[in-house]
Chains A and B, each alone.
Chain A
């Protein structure tokens, strides 16, 4: 197996008396789809926030590609190839779908201290952006304002924006949240098509999707990782069954 692209060492994050992340050590290998599951309030989004640089851990370390990135902020991590998508859709509502992705391309095309040339007509931004939209199935919605897209389309747009910078590792925070069955199925197909090209850490509630996609699964309960393994290992783990999959395994 390839070596770890992203690795955390005993991450701890407290909010007052609540320990949201309690000594989490996990790793994501290059090319692997690693799913992170756990009941509501287990601390999944808090962990993603610390991995992306949006929040700082109280103690512990985050390593990316063998280097300690704990002190880097979100933009610096994104430029190194560690990109996230958001649980609550986060796009630029006043920009078209194409411009949203074009900005993502621009973010990884060197500095943007260019003051006069028209970026909207810049083919170096438009063409990769359009290709990104085609990839997620929004090719025919390029000129629609992001605020006018449907919820599912905005989730797809999020993925296109996250992919535009050709990240080495993608943090996906519940990409299927709020999607209908058809949209979810399309997202699963999309994620499957992306597998192997880059590391992915997928936080998701949809267990069918997780077990269908993940190479490995980690289970987070009350801020702790109680198990990591393949889908079969996780299914068979008695602690996981008790803490989390209990209801399902009983039927």
Chain B
């Protein structure tokens, strides 16, 4: 507790505290302002940031550019959708299966892709994601290209009602906090240090006696598991799944978010997701105002902004808040 209070003295601690407080109260704020859309966007931000935090384990801490992470959204989403399609709405079944399937697929992709490096790694992760994408496109019983409407939300023995937008938001928010907490612990654990050490100098880690491949494979599985969790939340939020949720464009969005927020930082994925959505939601209407119909191309403005971040804020948005906690921990 004292540590949390002390961290409020730093710019990062203060920003995070205000941000999380506002996010915790969001359903109330949205109700007072009578803004259902605000709650919907916020729910998406919270859900996306879970997947971004998962990708950050690979990309930020491990230095492995997985360019197919949206596939785990698809796997989690289709787990919920397919069960629901067959009348099974029990979340105690849907969710563990969705997360386990995502982790299993991550392990399989990892077992093959982690034998390669650099561009080859990127291409293999992309290829496997496209493979699943086209399988989903071909799944006639589950809507193929058009996707599938989900009749009922996941049910948890009546403990929580996911149809209630406020309750669903708070559940997602709690899961996001748990994800961020877990990732922060992971980063400084023995496991996390091996993954980060392998990013820094793989040969050295092998010479020390670490079987680097195994640790990276487990990191991939954990990372994919958070993607799966995020995907099944997304399916519950949209009440709809389609192959589009795992298109390579979405995988690109996730990478952009992690880089924008700050790779290998605790709160970077959250910062990145918020920035991504705020820019999308504000650039679209602004550009439409300037010239009708151009809002669709908001990324024309977003792209150059990203270049600026790449050039002038290498550590992402997180670095604007001063030296990272992780860095100061190096003393410890």
List residues of A whose CB falls within 8 A of some B CB: 52, 54, 73-76, 78-79, 83-84, 86, 90-96, 99, 103-104, 106-108, 112-122, 143, 145, 161, 165
Contacts and interface: CB of A to CB of B under 8 A. Distances in A.
Nearest to A171: B207
A94 B190 contact: no
Contacts of A117: 189-190
7 contacts: A75-B207, A86-B204, A92-B201, A93-B201, A113-B218, A115-B189, A118-B185
B194 A112 contact: yes
B158 interface: no
Interface of B: 182, 185-186, 188-194, 196-197, 200-201, 203-212, 215, 218, 329-332
Residue among B189, B192, B207 with max Cβ neighbours from chain A (10 Å): B207
Contacts of B197: 92, 95, 103
A75 B188 contact: no
B190 A112 contact: yes
Contacts of B208: 75, 78, 83, 103-104, 107, 161, 165
A118 B188 contact: yes
| Closest 10 pairs (CB-CB, A-B) | A78-B209, A107-B209, A107-B208, A112-B190, A92-B200, A119-B190, A79-B209, A114-B190, A75-B211, A90-B204
Nearest to A161: B208
Contacts of B329: 120
Contacts of B194: 103, 106, 112
B71 to A, nearest CB: 24
A115 B186 contact: yes
B185 A83 contact: no
B203 A90 contact: yes
A176 to B, nearest CB: 19
A114 B206 CA distance: 18
B209 A75 contact: yes
A92 B197 CA distance: 7
Contacts of B189: 114-119
B303 to A, nearest CB: 29
A135 B69 CA distance: 46
Contacts of B205: 92, 103, 107
A90 B201 contact: yes
Nearest to B331: A143
A54 B207 CA distance: 8
A6 to B, nearest CB: 16
Given A95-B197, A96-B330, A112-B194, A119 B207 contact: no
A203 to B, nearest CB: 15
Contacts of B209: 75-76, 78-79, 83, 107-108, 165
Contact of A74 (B191, B193, B206, B331): B206
